[in-house]
Amino acid sequence: MRLVAMCLRNLGRRRLRTFLCVFGVAVSTCFVVAVGSTTLRFVTIMTDMNIFFQGDVVVVARDVIMIQGFPIGGVIPQSVVDELDKMDCVDRSIPVIFNFEFHLGEDSGVLPVYATIGLPLEEWSMIVRFATLKPGGRLPEANSTNEVIMGCSLAEQFGILTGSNTYLKGQELTVCGIIESPSALLGRSIIMSLELAQDVFNYPKRINMAVVKPKPSITQEELASRIEEEISCGMALTENERNELIKPVLEAVENWIMAIQGILLLLSLTLVAIVGMMNASERRRDFATLDAIGAPLSFVFRVVILETSLIGLLGGILGIAFGALAALVLSSLYTSIPLVQFFPCIFEIVPPVYVLEIFLAVVVVCCVGGIIPAINATRMRIAEVLRSEY
Amino acid sequence: MKIKTVDLTRIYHVGASKIIAVNKSNFEVSKSTFTAIVGPSGSGKSTLLNLIGLNDYPTAGKILIDNTDTSLLSGRERRKIRLFRIGFVFQTFNLLATLSVLENVELPMALAGKPSKEQRETAVRLLGNVGLGGRIHHRPKELSVGEMQRVAIARALANDPEVIIADEPTGELDSKTAEEIIGLLFDINRNRKTTVIVATHDEKLVKVAETLYTIRDGKLKLKH
C-alpha cells in the first residue's frame, strides 16, 4: 500500500502530464467500450433472432436481404402457401408479413425503429411463445379487425397501455396486450393478424415470407431443395443457410471492431510507454539513489510498472464510465428510442463481463507499456547518473 | 568492515579522449576509523568513493572487502552490501522528493524487509538523534540544506551499516551548518564505532580525521 502511495505521489509530481496520459487512456477506453458495446448489442440482437423458426424452412422472395429468419422487403403471392401445403413433404406452411420500419414520425434511424409482424391468429404461438403478456392483456380475438399486441419497449416509449388506441400507417389500432420478452425484436414489435397486416401495408393477397414445417421424416435440406424445384417465385432457406447468410456480416463487424479495439489499445500502450519513458528519464537521479542505497532491481521495476498500471486503472475507470454513457447515447441515436428508456437496461447494453474484460485489457496494456521504461530505469549506471546529475 | 584497494584504476572514455579518474590507487581503511580523502575538484574523489561504495566497477585493480575480492560478487551481492553494510551520504543529499522525511529514512529498512513497526521506531529515533524529531512529516523541499543533509545521514544509518561513505557532505552547506554535520559524523564514528570515509575540501573535516589521503589527478597518497 505504501508503494502505491509512493507511486501516486510520483505521478502527482507531473500533474498535467499524468492528467493528459490518463485522459488519453480514458478516451481510448471510452471509444472501445462505446463502440464495442453497441456492436456487441447489435450482434446479440441479430443472433437472438435465430431463436425464431428453428427447425423450419423459410420461403422468401428471390435475392431478398435476410437478417437471420427475417427478410427485409421482397414480396411473394399468398397462393404460394397453398402450393406448399399441397406438397407431400410439407406438414404445414404459415404465411407471414414481416416489416422493419426505419422511420418513426420525422425521425429516421440507422437501425430499425420497430418491426411489424402479421401472421394467422391460430399460429401466434410461433412468435408469442418467446414472450409473456403483461397482466390485463390478451391475444387479439378471432373476429377483431383492429386488435394488435405490442412490445413493451415500444409501448413504454409512447406511453401505450393495454386497451390504448394507436395509429399505424393512418389506421387506428387497439392494443389488446403488451408483451414482455428478452428478445429485442419482440420488445420493438407490433404483432397483428395476417389480414390486418395486409390491410395496413396494402399487401392484398401477398406476403413476404412463408414458414414451412417439414413432415417428421423429412430433413430441412430435402424440404428446401424440393421447394426450390417446385416453387419458382421464391427461395427456400434452411436454418443453417439463414445462419450462413448473416454469419459473414457478423464476423466482418466483429473483426472490424476487434481491429479498432486493438489499434486503440496499441495507442494507449504507446502513450503510456512514452509518458513512462519521460518520467523515468526525469527521475534518473532518484533511481540511481535507490540503486546506490541497495534497492533491488525488482523494486525499481515495480515502481515504474505500478505507476503505468495506475494510469491504466484511472484511465480505465473513467473511460468505462464515459463509454457506458456514450453507448447509451449511441443506442438512442441509432434507434430513436429515448435515452432514459435505456438507463434501466444499462447492463444489457453494456454487459458487465465485457466491461470487466476491457478494464483488465486496459490495465494489462498500461502495465506492458511500462516494461520498456522500467527496463531503462533498472539499467542506469549509478556512478554516471550521480555524476551527471550533480 | 575492512576495505582495501589494490592498484585501483578507473578510466572513462569521453569521445576519443581517455580520462584516468583513479590511477593505480592503494587505499586501506580499518574498522571504526575516520578517514578523509582530500583533493581539488575533478581529482577523482567521488570516483574513488563510488568504487569503494560498490556503485561503480574498476577498469583495473581490486577492491577487497574483508579480504573478499568484490569483482567476484554478483550484482545482487553488491546490492546487498550497499543495503546492509554501507551507508552513502551524497553531496546533494539525494532525498526522494515525494517521500516525507520519515519515509526517506524508513526506505532502506523497508528495502531490507524489516517490519513496519521497527522501521518507524528506528526512523523516529535516528531523526531524533540528528535533531529533526519535530520535522518527521515534512517533505525534503520544506527543509533547509543542513536539515536535508541530516536526513541523508539518518537514512545512511538506517540499516546500522559498518561504513558510512560521505561524498563532500559539507560541500553545499554554510560554515556553521557544516560544523554541525562534521560533529554529527564524528559522533557517529566515536559512539557507534562506525567507520567513516569522507571526501572533502573542508579543513575542519580534515582535522577530525584519523587517516588522511590526498588525491590529485587520480593518484592517491597516504598523508598520515
For residue B98, the distance in angstroms to the closest alpha carbon of chain A comes to: 6
Task: Name the domain boundary from A198, A232, A266.
Answer: A232
Is residue B169 within 8 A of residue B37, CB to CB? The reply is: no
Q: Compute the average pLDDT of residues B32-41.
A: 91
pLDDT(A102) > 70? no
A286: which chain B residues are within 8 Å (Cβ-Cβ)? 96-97
CA R_g for chain A:
29
Residue A241 maps to a domain: no
**For A271-323, how does the pLDDT look when each residue is reduced to its tens digit (9 = 90+)?**
999 999 999 998 999 999 999 999 999 999 999 999 999 999 999 999 999 99
CA angle B208, B214, B218 (to 5 degrees): 145
A182 and A290 together in one domain: no
Return the residue of B nearest to A291 by Cα. Answer: B79
Residue contact A382–B81, C-beta within 8 A: no
> How many Å apart are CA A366 and CA A241, to the nearest integer?
43
Determine contact: A167 vs chain B, CB below 8 A.
Answer: no
Q: Are residues A9 and A82 in the same domain?
A: no
Q: Check CB contact under 8 Å for A390 and B84.
A: no
Q: Which residue is it, cell 431478398?
A: A64
Nearest CA in chain A to B171: A390
In a domain, A237, yes or no: no
Name the maximum alpha-carbon separation found in chain B. Answer: 53
Quick check: is A123 in a domain? yes
Q: Among residues of chain A, what percentage have pLDDT more than 90? A: 51
Residue A53 located in a structural domain: no
Q: Is the pLDDT of residue A326 over 70?
A: yes
Residues A166 and A295 in one domain: no
- Measured N-to-C along each axis, helices B116-129 and B145-157 cross at an angle, to the nearest 10 degrees, of 130
pLDDT of residue A296: 92
Closest Cβ opposite residue B88 in set A2, A10, A292? A292
Distance from C-alpha of A188 to C-alpha of A111, rounded to nearest angstrom: 12
Question: A115 with A221, same domain?
Answer: yes
Contact across the interface for B111 and A6, Cβ inside 8 Å: no
- Interatomic CA distance for residues B113 and B133, integer angstroms: 24
Chain A hits for B111, CB-CB cut-off 8 Å, are 293-296, 299
The DSSP bridge pattern shows strands B163-167 and B195-200 to be parallel
Rounded CA gap, A26 and B40, in Å? 54
Same domain, A267 and A361: yes
Q: In angstroms, what separates the C-alpha of B119 from chain A's closest C-alpha?
A: 13
Based on the fold, state whether residues A98 and A32 are members of the same structural domain.
no
d(CA A184, CA B185): 79
Query: Which residues fall within 8 angstroms of residue B106, CB to CB, at 6 or more apart?
Result: B119, B120, B123, B158
**Angstrom distance (rounded) from CA B99 to CA A274:** 25
Q: What angle do CA B152, B153, B157 make, to 5 degrees?
A: 115
A contacts of B90 (beta carbons < 8 Å): 289, 292, 386
Segment holding A236, helix H or strand E:
strand A234-237
For residue range B81-113, list pLDDT tens digits in order. 999 999 999 888 899 999 999 999 999 999 999
Mean pLDDT score across all residues of chain B: 91
The predicted pLDDT at position A245 comes to 82
| Cell representation of residue A368 | 506492458
Q: A271 vs chain B: nearest CA distance in angstroms?
A: 24
Using a 10 angstrom Cβ sphere, with 0-12 exposed, 13-18 middle and 19 or more buried, the burial of residue A381 is: middle
Residues A220 and A309 in one domain: no
What does the mean pLDDT of chain A come to? 88
Domain map (residue ranges) of chain B: 30-58+70-222
Mean pLDDT over residues A123-150, rounded? 86
DSSP string, A267-303: HHHHHHHHHHHHHHHHTHHHHHHHHHTT--HHHHHHH
**pLDDT at residue A64 tops 90:** no
Average pLDDT over residues A61-73: 83
Q: How far is the C-alpha of B106 from the C-alpha of B116, rounded, in Å?
A: 9
Residue pair B196/B189 in contact by the 8 Å Cβ criterion: yes
Question: CB distance A294–B111 less than 8 Å?
Answer: yes
- Domain interval for residue A126: 63-232
Residue B130's contacts (CB-CB under 8 Å, 6 or more residues apart) are B150, B151, B153, B154, B184
Contact B92 A390 (CB under 8 A): yes
Tell me if A137 is assigned to some domain: yes
Mutation to test the B interface, candidates A279, A293, A385, most B Cβ within 10 Å: A293
Give A86-89's long-range contacts (Cβ < 8 A, gap of 24+): A87/A226, A87/A227, A87/A230, A88/A215, A89/A214, A89/A215, A89/A218, A89/A222, A89/A223, A89/A226
Cα B116 to Cα B131: distance, rounded to the nearest angstrom: 22
pTM: 0.79
Inspect the interface and report whether the beta carbons of A296 and B76 lie closer than 8 Å: yes
Chain A / chain B CB contacts < 8 angstroms: 68
Give the model's confidence band at A379: pLDDT under 50 very low, under 70 low, under 90 confident, else very high: confident
What is the reported pLDDT for A111? Answer: 54
Residue A1 has pLDDT above 60, yes or no: no
Given a cut of 60, is residue B48 above it in pLDDT?
yes
> A268 vs chain B: nearest CA distance in angstroms?
26
Q: Which of A106-115, A329-338, B34-43 has the lowest mean pLDDT?
A: A106-115
A74 in the same domain as A36: no
Is A292's CB within 8 Å of B94's CB? yes
Judged by CB atoms closer than 8 Å, whether chains meet at A292 and B82 is answered as yes
B116 to chain A: nearest residue by CA? A2
For residues A357 and A286, state if they share a domain. Answer: yes
Regarding whether A347 and A295 lie in a shared domain, the answer is yes
Above 90 in pLDDT, residue A46?
A: no
pLDDT higher than 80, residue B197: yes
**DSSP 3-state of B22:** strand
Together in a domain, A269 and A378: yes
In a domain, A56, yes or no: no
A387 vs B contacts (CB less than 8 Å): 46
- Considering the domain architecture, whether residues A25 and A129 belong to the same structural domain is answered as no
* Contact by Cβ (8 Å): A181, A149: no
pLDDT above 60: residue A205: yes
Total domain count for chain A?
2
Q: Distance between CA atoms of B193 and A281, rounded to whole angstroms?
A: 39
Instruction: Classify A74 as helix, strand or coil.
Output: coil
Alpha-carbon gap: A284 to the closest alpha carbon of chain B (Å): 11
- Listing DSSP states for A153-212 in one string gives HHHHHHT--TT-EEEETTEEEEEEEEEE-S-HHHHTEEEEEHHHHHHHTT-TTEESEEEE
> Cα separation of A330 and A339, whole Å?
9
Confirm whether A240 is domain-assigned.
Answer: no
Q: Tell me, yes or no, whether A278 lies in a domain.
A: yes
What residue ranges in B17-153 does DSSP mark as E strands? 17-29, 34-38, 60-65, 68-69, 86-89
| pLDDT value of position B155 | 95
**CATH 3.10.350.10 correct for B30-58+70-222:** no
